[in-house]
Chains A and B, each alone.
Chain A
Amino acid sequence: MSSSCIMLVLTNIKTQLKSFLLEIGELSYFTSRFFKEAFKRPFEIKELLRQCYLMGNRSLLLVGVTGFIIGLVLTLQTRPTLIEFGAVSWMPSMVGISIVREIGPIITALVCAGKIGSGIGAELGSMRVTEQIDAMEVSGTNPFKYLVVTRVLATTLMLPLLVIIGDAIALYGSFLVENLKGNVSFTLFFNQVFNSLEFGDIIPATIKSFFFGFAIGIVGCFKGYYCKKGTAGVGKAANTAVVFTSLLLFIIDFIAVFVTDIFYDL
């Protein structure tokens, strides 16, 4: 490879890194603005409730179906191995802990990043390019408060609820397999699930769901609110909102697991 080629690659990396860091800086500023505006009057309660309803209601079916399939698949895949080790009776405990601690929150968050995050990115992006956000500002409304604060709060509040519902449906899916294949009763299955679960499993998972919801909302809003380059920019905003959020979700998940682990060690 010639030196000019290496220089070209290095310049490209430098440009990419610079734009990535710039974006992180802008996102940090956007987040700080959210906290500043969220506690200022007037509070857009009506719009917040509308967004909560829209986000929760519209994602429920997708979260439910995904959770149900995850529960079925997890049980079907794990069953033969547990049978081999003579530990099939541990199935409800294993499925319960893995769904509540990790699989439920992250799968629900990823589904919502695709459904809600891209929706917010596209909606705000199209409002930006068609000057609806400017029109809102001219009519004396703070568009950041009306559009961004309400949406971010709605995703932050609704995601833990969706995670709980997704977990419950996933566990029900797992129970169906156990019932059909191992003739395990509903009471026995769920008794075992709840006996194996501790607050140390539920609380960190719930707290991390709030952070997941916040990440979905803030990235979706950030990408949409600063959307440029016309209708092509709207598609890009929706797309990058999902990609960026998904990456952020895994980073948050890693930090959450790391922090939880420290508390377990204490």
Chain B
Amino acid sequence: MKDEQHIVTHFKNMKQQPVVLQIKDLYKSFGNNHVLNGFNMILHKGENLVIMGKSGSGKSVMIKCLVGLMEADKGIITVMGNDITTLNQESLDILRADIGFLFQGSALYDSMTVRENLEFPLRRHTKKFDKDIDTEKLVVEALGNVGLADAIDLMPSELSGGMKRRVALARTLILKPKIILYDEPTSGLDPITAKEIIILMKDIQTKYNTSSLIITHDVDCARVISDRMILLIDGIDYAVGTYKELSASDDPKIKAFFKH
């Protein structure tokens, strides 16, 4: 009860924080398949926003539109004051240095070691760091934060699913992003490893003071990590609220998400 009270107070405080990410009337179709039909959302600084939806509901499409990996048919996407639909490639690349993206399947580069995987984004975003940065120190620090300092010289094929997810998280963190986008962070993991990843995400949020957008259909993940939730149904932001509010809803479409 105390925890729930704390979350509600935290959520109210969150609303006073500046908006770091906003989507207005987002539309995206693939032929006759209308995936997003006017989706809206706002992410505040320091907030953990969870977006839940069924498989194929357009969650991953939405998150890819957010970083410019996919082009939306219509709508405005504003990231830290920049409308990404109007940015040129160079400005988009600079902005991307402030957005971390944890992919569903980790997306580690197979042909590179863990060290090289982490060094890769550092070398690409030289403008964000001094020329004299100690990449080795940053790599070791990032791996240490996810508890995998010993795996520095391993190849991705030598890592377990959970370890891969941790390394991917370290790669995301190495650029010290202001926003982290998580695409199904716990999918494909056993419950214990999934729980470890969720705890790690919470720790990172506290340590780096990042804003997080988490795409998931894992109710446990949503319960533990969310300050606020959006249910993506029929391509729109069908319901918005805290976990407590939504899980208590009588709407059958909403209730379907919280059935165990």
CB within 8 Å of B: which residues of A? Answer: 123, 126-127, 130-132, 134-142
**Complex: A126 Cα to B69 Cα, angstroms:** 18
Partner of B120 from the list A127, A134, A139 (CB cut-off 8 Å) is A139
For B170-182 the 0/1 string (1 means CB < 8 A from A) is 0000010000000
| A132 & B108 in contact (Cβ 8 Å cutoff) | yes
Partner of B121 from the list A127, A130, A134, A140 (CB cut-off 8 Å) is A140
| B107 & A132 in contact (Cβ 8 Å cutoff) | yes
Chain B CB count within 10 A is highest, among A123, A135, A136, for A135
- Given A141-B120, A142-B89, 12 extra CB contacts under 8 A: A123-B111, A130-B105, A132-B110, A135-B101, A136-B109, A138-B67, A138-B96, A139-B96, A139-B175, A140-B93, A140-B94, A140-B124
Contact (A132, B109) CB under 8 Å given A139-B121, A140-B124, A141-B124: yes
Q: Answer yes or no: B97 CB below 8 A from chain A CBs.
A: yes
**Complex: A140 Cα to B95 Cα, angstroms:** 9
Q: Could you say which residues of chain A place their CB within 8 Å of the CB of B120?
A: 136, 139, 141
**Complex: A126 Cα to B52 Cα, angstroms:** 28
Smallest CB-CB A-B distances: 3 pairs: A135-B107, A139-B121, A131-B107
Q: Answer yes or no: B246 CB below 8 A from chain A CBs.
A: no
| A130 & B107 in contact (Cβ 8 Å cutoff) | yes
| B93 & A134 in contact (Cβ 8 Å cutoff) | no
**Complex: A123 Cα to B110 Cα, angstroms:** 9
5 pairs of residues in contact across A and B, judged by CB atoms under 8 Å: A134-B64, A134-B107, A136-B109, A139-B96, A139-B175
**Complex: A45 Cα to B73 Cα, angstroms:** 37
Number of A-B contacts (CB under 8 A): 48
**Complex: A166 Cα to B67 Cα, angstroms:** 47
Q: Could you say which residues of chain B place their CB within 8 Å of the CB of A131?
A: 103-105, 107
Interface of A is mostly: helix
Q: Count of B residues near A, CB < 8 Å?
A: 23
**Complex: A141 Cα to B121 Cα, angstroms:** 8
| A138 & B69 in contact (Cβ 8 Å cutoff) | yes
Interface of B is mostly: loop
Q: Could you say which residues of chain A place their CB within 8 Å of the CB of B64?
A: 134
Q: Answer yes or no: B84 CB below 8 A from chain A CBs.
A: no
Partner of B96 from the list A126, A130, A140 (CB cut-off 8 Å) is A140
**Complex: A88 Cα to B107 Cα, angstroms:** 61
Q: Could you say which residues of chain A place their CB within 8 Å of the CB of B94?
A: 140
Q: Answer yes or no: B99 CB below 8 A from chain A CBs.
A: yes
B14 vs chain A, min Cβ distance (A): 26
Q: Answer yes or no: B125 CB below 8 A from chain A CBs.
A: yes
**Complex: A138 Cα to B93 Cα, angstroms:** 8
**Complex: A224 Cα to B99 Cα, angstroms:** 27
Q: Could you say which residues of chain B place their CB within 8 Å of the CB of A140?
A: 93-94, 96-97, 121, 124-125
Chain B CB count within 10 A is highest, among A134, A140, A142, for A140
B69 vs chain A, min Cβ distance (A): 5
Partner of A138 from the list B101, B105, B108, B110 (CB cut-off 8 Å) is B101
Within 8 A of A (CB), among B133-155: none
**Complex: A192 Cα to B96 Cα, angstroms:** 63
CB closest residue in chain B, given A131:
B107
| B96 & A135 in contact (Cβ 8 Å cutoff) | no
A161 vs chain B, min Cβ distance (A): 23
Q: Could you say which residues of chain A place their CB within 8 Å of the CB of B89?
A: 142
Q: Could you say which residues of chain A place their CB within 8 Å of the CB of B103?
A: 131, 134-135
Chain A CB count within 10 A is highest, among B89, B104, B121, for B121
Chain B CB count within 10 A is highest, among A126, A132, A141, for A132
Q: Could you say which residues of chain A place their CB within 8 Å of the CB of B121?
A: 139-140
**Complex: A140 Cα to B101 Cα, angstroms:** 12
B116 vs chain A, min Cβ distance (A): 12
**Complex: A136 Cα to B89 Cα, angstroms:** 14
Within 8 A of A (CB), among B112-132: 120-121, 124-125
**Complex: A217 Cα to B111 Cα, angstroms:** 19
Contact (A139, B124) CB under 8 Å given A131-B105, A134-B103: yes
